[in-house]
């Protein structure tokens, strides 16, 4: 499976009769990968990836690319993203923040509680 990284556009939830809790979803804009770019020596512990600058995969063609709507609990971790301006063209550079203890699922639950008026 190819690497996926993107921007969360919005979080929303769906309530369905017969289910105990609403399902929380994220609308995504998936960044377009930059092939054959890597850090010298490619140390895997850095988890550095490169992406086309300001390019996102089109999501208006069903069956092509990742889905634009995903369950929020499938988001593995947050990313830090910067701009590499010394290359032509510029690139986005990301690294994971999986050691940072912020859960997207927990954040989404807080949003759902706020929408429902629960403190």
Question: What residues does each domain of the chain span?
Answer: 6-116
Secondary structure E strands in 2-118: 6-14, 23-33, 49-56, 69-71, 79-84, 91-96
The residue assigned the tokens 């999501």 is 59
Of the pLDDT bands very low, low, confident and very high (cuts 50, 70, 90), residue 98 is confident
Map residue 114 onto helix, strand or coil. helix
Query: Which residues are registered as beta bridge partners of 72?
Result: none
* pTM, 2 dp: 0.74
CB neighbour list of residue 9: distance below 8 Å, 6 or more residues apart? 26, 27, 28, 29
User: pLDDT-derived band of residue 92, with 50, 70 and 90 as boundaries?
Assistant: very high
Higher-confidence residue: 38 or 69? 69
**pLDDT score at 38:** 58
CB atoms within 10 A of CB 61: 8
Q: What share of the chain is helix, strand, coil (3-state, %, to 5)?
A: 15, 35, 50
More confident residue, 93 or 99: 93
**13-55 residue pLDDT tens:** 888 888 777 888 999 999 998 876 555 666 666 778 889 999 9
> In this predicted structure, what is the pLDDT of residue 47?
78
């Amino acid at each position: 499976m190819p690497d996926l990284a993107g921007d969360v556009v919005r979080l929303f939830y769906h309530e369905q009769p017969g289910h105990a809790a609403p399902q929380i979803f994220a609308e995504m804009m998936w960044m377009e990968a930059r092939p054959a770019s890597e850090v010298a020596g490619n140390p895997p512990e850095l988890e550095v990836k490169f992406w086309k600058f300001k390019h996102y995969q089109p999501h208006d063609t069903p069956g092509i690319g990742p889905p634009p709507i995903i369950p929020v609990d499938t988001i593995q971790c947050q990313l830090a993203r910067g701009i590499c301006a010394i290359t032509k063209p510029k690139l986005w550079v990301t690294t994971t923040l999986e050691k940072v203890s912020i859960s997207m699922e927990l954040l989404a639950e807080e949003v759902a509680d706020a929408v429902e008026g629960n403190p």
